[in-house]
Chains A and B, each alone.
Chain A
Amino acid sequence: MLNFELKIKNLKFIILPFLVQLFSVLPLAAAAQQPDLEAQARQIAAELRCPVCQNLSAGDSPSELAQQMKGIILEQLKEGKSPDEIKAYFVSKYGEWVLLSPPARGFGLLVWVLPYVVAVAGIVLVLLVVRRWTGKKGRQEPSAADAALLARIKREAAIEAPAPPERESGSPRAELLQEQARLYADLRELDFDYRAGKLSEADYQDLRNTLETEAVLVLKKIETTPARRAATAPKASEGKPSVEKKTAPTQASARPGWQLAAGGAFLLLFGITVGVLLTKSVRPRGSDQDSITGDFLTGTGPGGMAGGAGMGGMGASPSRDVAALLAQGRAAYERQDWSKAIEAFKSALAVDPNQPEAHTYMGLILAQAGHADGALMAFERALSANPKFPLALWGKGMLLYQGKQDFAGARATLQSLLEILPAGEEKNQIQKTLAEINEASKGRKEGPKKVKAEAAAPPARPAAQAQGQQIRGTITVDPKLKSKLDGKAVLFIVVYQAGSTGGPPLAVKKIDNPVFPLAYSLGSESVMMAGMPFSGKVTVSVRLDKDGNAMTKGAGDLTGERNGPVEVGAQKVDIVLDRAM
């Protein structure tokens, strides 16, 4: 029923970029006889940054400024300027920022050098770590045979020994002896530190184990070295121990608990920071073609091309970008993905509670779902924010006409829409609808007088047949709940088809500022879906809604219902508001 689309505005946005592209291509086409110049211009443009984009070259960017830059490059080439001169020209206007490859000097040098430095540092780091891991494994399990050596070390390390004899200085054995003495000294120092309270028990044990294991290895080597000295080549016995010696001390300790905790805390903090900053820099996608950053990265998102929507650098939080949310909602509405559309428009309303377009689309969705009152309220909200919002005027007019049969209201609304619509297909359509409304209202005015007299004449519409059928009665409030009455509340009388288990109600009547006891009558004018007959067995309930919103049931609402179904046309359908929610 509601498939009307105001596309007039959109048309401009489809055609404009097209024209812009066309015009920017024309000068290039004229230069086609100098293909080498054009290729040269492209190459220069590829090396220049597009000033309105992020990390996009002027050659790749579809933005108007980038196109103009290409034109300027081509012109300067024709004047006989060299590529370097042209690049220098752009640098003189926008600074070195405009070069995609920064010059290898000053701060720009960092960009060229840093990756290599980091790569080399990374490789070195990996090598060190791997070496440490492999080294540790070898040391960690002293065999049973080493127990004797270990005892010897514990014994010997405790006493301060004289420096090893230097006579074999430079020989592998002398080196090993020196190493042994050093380890003993380290063990004593460790004991001293431990007794002085500088080390925790865990650290001490760990370091001590490490040193003792190293010492065991050294002692073993000392035992084997003299015997093998004659047989083995010096380089073989020289290389190994020195490697062990140099890497071993760095294996000092396993990570104590506080280090792990600090690392964890750091990672957590880092993650939170990145998360917060990222959510601030991106926004919901406007459509499938849109990027999460809109024109933030390319300068060509909806904000960039449509103009106005994306106020670059204004510091407005993009996740609260109403324009994007509306676009999202419209797209979902057109796909008939109602839940997505509602979600998007609700988010838009959360940012700007008076956004007329969001209210209007909510109204259209509600009307489609058969919630005429809710829809009407949404249209009213849109119109209170912008009394000349065409889509809201149209929605309200059609709803009053088809949903509520309020011909006078529909006529007034559509009339004001006519005044603001430009001439065209849509205006004609509205005029046609108005003519239809005039017809229908004429029919109704005469209707009641003739209903009885012309019982034989077939009625024009099925709805008209039930015109006289009404439910009447009185609504009262339980005396116990009198104190909970709220002067501003809105009363809803809701009629369901008897036996229906879900779906929209058959009819709803809304009464503002009710005064109890309240006599009511409810007829086909309150039927929600146009054309549904108001007849048969129905159930009737009432709700006094505190916030006046038919969609929400909240605390403070009073409800009551008629026990059992009644026939449409019944009188004295009295209902008591006897429950508080």
Chain B
Amino acid sequence: MEPSRSAAPWRRLVITLAVLLPLIGILAYGFMRDPRYINSPLIGQQAAPFTVTLFDGKKLSLDDLRGKAVFLNFWASWCPPCRAEARDLEAAWQRVKNSDVVFLGVDIQDTEEDARAYLREFDVTYPNGRDLTGKVAVDYGVWGIPETFFIDPQGRITYKHVGSLGTPLITAKLEEARAGIVSAKEGKGSYQTVR
């Protein structure tokens, strides 16, 4: 039954560690990860169709943009990381606006007045609309802004980025979206949890 008694303390230690180490591992994992972070199941999926009223009064549907790569950016005027990336976004737009790429900003959880002031402040020229009910935001699983989706000409989401974007990443991911290359992972920068 017990082959050697001198082995007993070692066996007990091994059992204790076998129980405790996984527990400590789970605890450490819980502390390490960002508890707000939600991995999106949408990458590689077909982008949900929606129609927004733009700030100039026109209506724009995602379906109308089929055949072009779409840069879809969720933002709000009260969100500091959105402000941080605003100029880069406009600069990137200026660079690619003559190709088959469309930038579309969707303002969420905001007042029209604040949003217009924001667009003026950063001289944003690409189309922007407001999501009044939160339906578009939930359709894209938005939880931390700025949140950006790259959509290929066939209407498939190729990449998602939570947090501020820089021009190099925008250009690179737009190229991938035009070629229909789906990224394996979503990107992460500094973001602001939505309200």
Contact = CB atoms under 8 A, between A and B. Distances in A.
A72 B36 contact: no
Nearest to A307: B78
Interface in A218-263: 249, 252-253, 256, 259, 262
B1 interface: yes
Given A71-B133, A308-B78, A308-B80, A259 B9 contact: yes
B64 interface: no
Interface string B136-177: 011111011000000000000000000100000000000000
Contact of A93 (B1, B5, B140, B192): B140
Contacts of A69: 134, 138
Interface string B1-21: 110111011000100000010
Contact of A52 (B27, B135, B193): B193
A95 interface: yes
A199 B81 CA distance: 65
B40 interface: yes
B6 A295 contact: no
Q: Is the interface of A mostly helix, strand, loop or mixed?
A: helix
A200 B1 CA distance: 23
Contact of B36 (A94, A256, A274, A312): A312
A186 B2 CA distance: 10
Interface string A278-313: 000100000000000001100100001101101111
A94 B141 contact: yes
Contacts of B8: 252-253
A82 B160 CA distance: 30
Contacts of A64: 109, 134, 194-195
A203 interface: yes
Interface residues of B, number: 43
Most buried by B among A64, A65, A299, A308: A65
A313 B40 CA distance: 17
Interface string A552-576: 0000000000000000000000000
Grouping DSSP codes into helix (H, G, I), strand (E, B) and loop, the B interface class, with mixed when no group exceeds half, is loop
What class of interface size applies to chain A in its complex with B?
35 or more
A98 B79 CA distance: 24
B191 interface: yes
A207 interface: yes
A451 interface: no
A304 B6 contact: no
A304 B37 CA distance: 16
A68 B9 contact: no
B143 A94 contact: yes
A186 B5 contact: yes
A93 B38 CA distance: 10
Interface of B: 1-2, 4-6, 8-9, 13, 20, 24, 27, 31, 34-42, 78-81, 109, 133-135, 137-141, 143-144, 163, 190-195
29 contacts: A51-B143, A52-B193, A54-B35, A64-B195, A65-B109, A65-B137, A68-B133, A68-B134, A68-B135, A68-B137, A69-B138, A90-B138, A93-B42, A93-B141, A94-B40, A98-B38, A193-B4, A259-B13, A274-B27, A281-B31, A296-B35, A304-B193, A307-B192, A307-B195, A308-B78, A311-B80, A311-B190, A312-B144, A314-B190
